[in-house]
C-alpha cells in the first residue's frame, strides 16, 4: 500500500475515533447536566413537600391551619357553607368562622371536668377499699396501683353483667356495685362506658353498656321467647 495512503487512512481512523470519543464525552456531559438538573429539582420538590408537612403540623390552632392552607378566593365560600355547618353543629350561631374553627371540635363542652364536679368530688371523699367505686378515664388509663384490668358488658335490656368471655357475673353488687352502673358516660369520656375500681379485688373494670339483651345477643334466643 502506498505510504501516503496508509498515513491518510490511519489519520482518518484516528480522527474518527477521537471524534467519537469527543461526541460521547459531550453527550455524556449533557446527560449528566440534564439528570443533575432533574435530581436537584426532585430534591427541591421533596424539601418543599416536607416543609409543607411540617408547616401543617406546626399550626397552633385549626384556625391558623385554615388561614394558611385555604386559598384566599375560597375563604368566602368556606365562611358561607362550612362556617354555617360548623356553627350549627356546635351551637355557635353568628360566631365568626375563625372563632368556630379555633374552638376544639373534640371538646365535650357539656361534660364537666371531674375536678370541677361537686358530685364526683363527694364520691371521691366516700371511696372505700371495701366497696367498688367509679374512677375517671384518666385514673383507669394511668392504673397507678397496677390493678388487673378487665372489660365487661352490661346488657341493660335484661340487666345482665357478662365478663370478657361472655359468661354471666354473679354478685354484681360486690364486683362493680349496682349503683355505679348509673354513671355510664360520666367521667369516662365515652357515652356507653363506666370505669369502676374494686380495691378489695385489686381490679379495675371497664364496663361497656349494651341496650340489647344478653339472652338474645349472647344466648341467641328468639326475641319472641324473651320477656
Rounded CA gap, 197 and 95, in Å?
Answer: 42
Contact predicate 137/188, CB 8 Å: yes
Contact predicate 158/214, CB 8 Å: yes
In a domain, 121, yes or no: yes
**Residue 17 pLDDT > 90, yes or no?**
no
Q: What is the CA radius of gyration of the chain?
A: 36
**Residue 104 pLDDT > 80, yes or no?**
no
- Domain end point (choices 72, 102, 132): 102
Strands 133-135 and 148-155 come out as unpaired
User: Are residues 132 and 207 located together in one domain of the fold?
Assistant: yes
**Mean pLDDT in residue range 107-114:** 58
In a domain, 51, yes or no: no
Higher pLDDT, 200 or 30: 200
Strands 203-210 and 148-155 come out as parallel
User: Are residues 157 and 135 located together in one domain of the fold?
Assistant: yes
User: Are residues 144 and 189 located together in one domain of the fold?
Assistant: yes
In a domain, 181, yes or no: yes
What was the pLDDT predicted at 98? Answer: 47
What was the pLDDT predicted at 10? Answer: 46
Contact predicate 177/130, CB 8 Å: no
**Residue 14 pLDDT > 60, yes or no?**
no
Q: Is residue 16 classed as helix, strand or coil in its secondary structure?
A: helix
Domain extent for 189: 114-217
pLDDT digits (tens, 9 = 90+) for 35-67: 666 667 766 766 666 566 555 455 555 555 555
**Residue 103 pLDDT > 50, yes or no?**
no
What was the pLDDT predicted at 116? Answer: 81
In a domain, 131, yes or no: yes
Residue 102's pLDDT band, with cuts at 50, 70 and 90, is: very low
In b/e form, how buried is each residue of 106-137, taking b as 16+ CB within 10 angstroms?
eeeeeeeebeebeebeebeeeeeeeebbbbbb
Q: What percent of the chain has pLDDT over 70?
A: 52
Amino acid at each position: 500500500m502506498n505510504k501516503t495512503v496508509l498515513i491518510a487512512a490511519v489519520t482518518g481512523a484516528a480522527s474518527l475515533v477521537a471524534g467519537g470519543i469527543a461526541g460521547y464525552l459531550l453527550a455524556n456531559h449533557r446527560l449528566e447536566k440534564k439528570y443533575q438538573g432533574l435530581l436537584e429539582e426532585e430534591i427541591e420538590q421533596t424539601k418543599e413537600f416536607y416543609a409543607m408537612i411540617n408547616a401543617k403540623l406546626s399550626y397552633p390552632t385549626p384556625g391558623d391551619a385554615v388561614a394558611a392552607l385555604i386559598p384566599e378566593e375560597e375563604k368566602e365560600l368556606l365562611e358561607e357553607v362550612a362556617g354555617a355547618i360548623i356553627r350549627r353543629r356546635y351551637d355557635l350561631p353568628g360566631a365568626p368562622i375563625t372563632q368556630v374553627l379555633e374552638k376544639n371540635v373534640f371538646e365535650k363542652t357539656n361534660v364537666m371536668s371531674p375536678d370541677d364536679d361537686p358530685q364526683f368530688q363527694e364520691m371521691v371523699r366516700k371511696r372505700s377499699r371495701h366497696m367498688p367505686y367509679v374512677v375517671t378515664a384518666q385514673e383507669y388509663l394511668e392504673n397507678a396501683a397496677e390493678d388487673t384490668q378487665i372489660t365487661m358488658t352490661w346488657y341493660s335490656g335484661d340487666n345482665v353483667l357478662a365478663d370478657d368471655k361472655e359468661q354471666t357475673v354473679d354478685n354484681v353488687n360486690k364486683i362493680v356495685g349496682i349503683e355505679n352502673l348509673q354513671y355510664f358516660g360520666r367521667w369516662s369520656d365515652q357515652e356507653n362506658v363506666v370505669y369502676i375500681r374494686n380495691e378489695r379485688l385489686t381490679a379495675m373494670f371497664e364496663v361497656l353498656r349494651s341496650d340489647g339483651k344478653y339472652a338474645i345477643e349472647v344466648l341467641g334466643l328468639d326475641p319472641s321467647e324473651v320477656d
